[in-house]
Structure 1
Amino acid sequence: MDIECIKYLCLDLDGTLLDSKKNIPEEAKRVIIDLKNKGVIIILASGRHFNEMDRYIKELELGFNHFAISCDGIYTYRCDGTKLFTGNSLTKSDIEVISKQIPSKDILFFTSSSDFRICHSFVRSLIYRLKFLKARRSIFNVFYRNNRIPSNIEVEKIRIDNISNSIPATIRSNYTVHLVQTDGYRMEILNKGVNKFSAVEKLCKHKYINSLHQLLYFGNDDNDRECFENLKYTIAMQDAPEDLKRLAYKTTEDSDHNGVYKAIIKMYKDNKILFYGS
């Protein structure tokens, strides 16, 4: 048997567990709750803020013994709302450095703290407003938005890819850069070493997780990459980037075709996986 026992199930939300209407499919919900009731620890890992994850935590009936990683690894909580860890946020100085390397024309900047988001049309207004707001930010997002051109994912992708390719090596060496395609296309910049895997690893270091080899991870996007690079058992959704799928242990159907549920059931039937308590 390839896997002796999976005790921890870690799931990205948007584009993985959630369908395009932002719902958890009923079959997936039932199988996750069943695993939870048998003793499997559930970890939700998302770019969302914790308060945006609350609905799904309640639907899956997750409590004190289960975990939520928010803002792509900045914050880690118990699912009852107890904050466990805070990663290194971006400072005002970080945002100033990053902003100066990105052209402002047709670009929307999007910064996040632990509990709110702020949008800015231009670098100047971004820096100005930061003087009057909390200095630390979790994530710096860059979107392409041109009011003269209808929203088009291919246009957005070309524009953001061009910006990404023009970023100096010093930015890439000092920060974590992801190109995220779920819900549009954007470039996401976090402090170096901050990502979902670093949060999972911290849970392991502090004994909330016994072994990373007992963890199964589902994801679909570039901000899941570090998990796919470092975890043994990963499942990529069918619409994930091709290079991410090559890193995966297995692939499954996309979120609109109940990929999480189908992958779990298939591994059961193929005797490829044994979940704790089963």
Structure 2
Amino acid sequence: MYKLIAIDLDGTLLDDNKNIPEENLKLLKELIDNGYEVVIATGRRYWSAKQLVKNIDRPMVILANNGNIVRDTKDDQIIIKKYLDLKDFKTLIQEGKERGLYPIIHVDQYEEGIDLIIEMDKAHKKYYNYVAQSEERYKKVENYLEIKEDKILAVVYAGSKEKLESFHFHINERYPNRYSSHIMENIVVADALLEIMNPLGCKWLSLSEYAKEKGIAERQIIAIGDDNNDAQMVKNAGCGIAMKNASERVKKVANIITEKDNNESGVAFELRKILDL
């Protein structure tokens, strides 16, 4: 019945140390070798996601940046791309600046070795350690408003949940249908993250688009996640699974909540039951 399995990374496939537990790793190899289409659906950028799943040692499709860029790991070719309109990007930046918000910009410059654009030093406290000190795949600019590129995947704000929720509400009320956005809660770098993207940018829309191209019906999809950016795919998939450690919003729309969390190979434990493996 099920043909495609979409799995989130952080808080789902990965443990808290950002490794794939042995049982999860073993199961994914087994699934791929048995003909299942396994797709990684993550808010992470493609380069980072590819590094984290390299031990699976199988070609895979990665829906990165919440589905705004989809690539195949065997050749890094782009399958789906959804960029934020440059005018909408600058409107967003200006609105954020007026509220004292300092975002990190995700861009599609994988081949040039650039994934992030920042204005301040990467260690600046306003970035809440979002940009790792070892990070090399970034570019620094004097002013985001001077950016002329048209390959912007996401604008990410880190900070207090209250402040970001207020900005989130303001943007959606003032500019309806111009952005897709969500608040991330299951994170460690800050109280919350606000991710703002192309209006068609979300994991589920890109996953559904990819599945359709492969001749796979939505009812044949299993989707597993833990945070609010997973809610749509968990809700709409044929079988939606929320991790034991998932946010309440994801649990409310799931068909199944795992018995084990991300540190206990909850993904493998649940899939073996569902797929009778």
**TM-score under structure 1 length normalisation:** 0.81
SS at match of 2:12: coil
1:196-240 CA distances to partner (integer Å, 9 max, x unpaired)?
11111111222x242222211111111112212321211111232
Query: Which position in structure 2 is the counterpart of 1:80?
Result: 74
Residue 165 (str. 1) matches residue 172 (str. 2): no
Query: Which position in structure 2 is the counterpart of 1:149?
Result: none
SS at match of 1:21: coil
SS at match of 1:261: helix
Query: Which position in structure 2 is the counterpart of 1:255?
Result: 262
Larger radius of gyration: 1
Aligned residues: 249
Query: Which position in structure 1 is the counterpart of 2:232?
Result: 226
**Residue identity matched to 1:125:** N
SS at match of 1:76: strand
CA distance, structure 2, for counterparts of residue 101 and residue 254 of structure 1 = 38
**TM-score under structure 2 length normalisation:** 0.81
Query: Which position in structure 1 is the counterpart of 2:117?
Result: 118
1:102-142 CA distances to partner (integer Å, 9 max, x unpaired)?
355552211111231012359x82213x14xx233000111
CA distance, structure 2, for counterparts of residue 205 and residue 41 of structure 1 = 13
The alpha carbon displacement at 1:263 in A equals 1.5
CA distance, structure 2, for counterparts of residue 201 and residue 79 of structure 1 = 19
Contact 2:96 2:102 in 1 (8 A): no
Change (3 A) 1:136 1:258: same
Query: Which position in structure 1 is the counterpart of 2:245?
Result: 239
Query: Which position in structure 1 is the counterpart of 2:182?
Result: 178
**Residue identity matched to 1:19:** D
The alpha carbon displacement at 1:160 in A equals 1.6
Larger RCO (CA within 8 A; separation ≥ 6): 1
SS at match of 2:216: coil
Residue 274 (str. 1) matches residue 275 (str. 2): yes
Give % identity.
22
Query: Which position in structure 2 is the counterpart of 1:51?
Result: 47
| CA RMSD of superposed structures (Å) | 2.3
The alpha carbon displacement at 1:7 in A equals 1.9
1:132-172 CA distances to partner (integer Å, 9 max, x unpaired)?
xx23300011122xxxxxxxxxxx22222232233351434
Contact 2:41 2:64 in 1 (8 A): yes
Change (3 A) 1:178 1:39: same
Change (3 A) 1:111 1:250: same
CA distance, structure 2, for counterparts of residue 76 and residue 209 of structure 1 = 17
CA distance, structure 1, for counterparts of residue 232 and residue 81 of structure 2 = 16
**Structure 2 residue corresponding to 1:203, chosen from 184, 206, 210:** 210
**Structure 1 residue corresponding to 2:152, chosen from 121, 137, 144:** 137
CA distance, structure 1, for counterparts of residue 97 and residue 30 of structure 2 = 49
Of the structure 1 ranges 167-176 and 212-221, higher mean CA displacement relative to structure 2 is found in 167-176
Query: Which position in structure 2 is the counterpart of 1:148?
Result: none
The alpha carbon displacement at 1:88 in A equals 2.5
Contact 1:57 1:79 in 2 (8 A): no
Unaligned runs of 5+ in 2: 121-125, 127-141
CA distance, structure 1, for counterparts of residue 151 and residue 78 of structure 2 = 18
CA distance, structure 1, for counterparts of residue 224 and residue 217 of structure 2 = 17
Contact 1:102 1:167 in 2 (8 A): no
